[in-house]
């Protein structure tokens, strides 16, 4: 299951991504928003990310105008590693090297074609582990207040 959500700035992109997930038969849960009416992105980020951290969803896809605000909010949820991406290489490598579990996209930044390519590579790329595991563990230690310099 993929958890998906957007504010008004990312709503139209979210709808395009949902169409693509439907075509590919990928199961998702849409946490809103459901129109272009103004809504606060932090509320959406929280609900979507909780679906990941409580085990209901494997990964999150989040859209706002820039992808930035919703990624900042997502990264405050313990256990979330959210990456705001505008290019395919970053969407791939944030899975390979950072084990990102949330992809954040800007509906006012990227077109649907590129966004869908990024979604596909993000969802199909496995974390490489190895030396990258140590670095991800360091991020987790910072989050937990147990990081040792
Ligand atoms: C909403 O106007 C806009 O600020 C929001 O979608 C996002 O871009 C914030 O980072």
pLDDT for the residue 148: 94
The one catalytic residue in 63, 64, 84, 85 is 64
Q: Any idea which residue has 């900042």 for tokens?
A: 72
Answer positive or negative: Cα dihedral of 135, 141, 142, 146. negative
Quickly state the pLDDT bin for 55 (edges 50, 70, 90): very high
Ligand 1 centroid distance, CA of 44 (Å):
12
Per residue in 69-86, pLDDT (tens digit) is 999 999 999 999 999 999
Ligand 1 centroid distance, CA of 41 (Å):
7
Q: What angle do CA 149, 73, 13 make, to 5 degrees?
A: 130
Quickly state the pLDDT bin for 42 (edges 50, 70, 90): very high
Ligand 1 centroid distance, CA of 148 (Å):
35
Asked whether 5 lines ligand 1 (CB < 6 A), one says no
Per residue in 107-117, pLDDT (tens digit) is 999 999 999 99
Backbone angles phi, psi at 26, to 5 degrees: -90, 125
Q: Is 64 a catalytic residue?
A: yes
Residue of 64, 75, 109 with the most ligand 1 atoms within 8 Å of its CB, for mutation:
64
Per residue in 25-36, pLDDT (tens digit) is 999 999 999 999
Per residue in 94-140, pLDDT (tens digit) is 999 999 999 999 999 999 999 999 999 999 999 999 999 999 999 99
Whether 125 and 88 have beta carbons less than 8 Å apart is answered as no
């Amino acid at each position: 299951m993929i958890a998906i959500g957007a504010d008004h700035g990312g709503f139209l992109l979210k709808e395009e991504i949902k169409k693509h997930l439907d075509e590919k038969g990928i199961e998702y849960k849409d946490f809103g928003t459901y129109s272009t009416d103004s809504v606060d992105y932090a509320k959406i980020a929280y609900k979507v990310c909780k679906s990941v951290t409580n085990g209901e969803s494997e990964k999150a896809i989040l859209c706002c105008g820039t992808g930035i605000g919703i990624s900042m909010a997502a990264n405050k949820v313990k256990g979330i590693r959210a990456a705001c991406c505008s290019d395919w290489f970053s969407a791939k490598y944030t899975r390979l090297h950072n084990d990102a579990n949330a992809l954040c996209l800007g509906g006012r930044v990227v077109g649907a074609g590129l966004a869908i390519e990024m979604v596909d590579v993000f969802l199909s790329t496995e974390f490489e582990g190895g030396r990258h595991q140590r670095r991800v563990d360091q991020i987790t230690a910072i989050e937990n207040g147990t990081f040792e310099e």
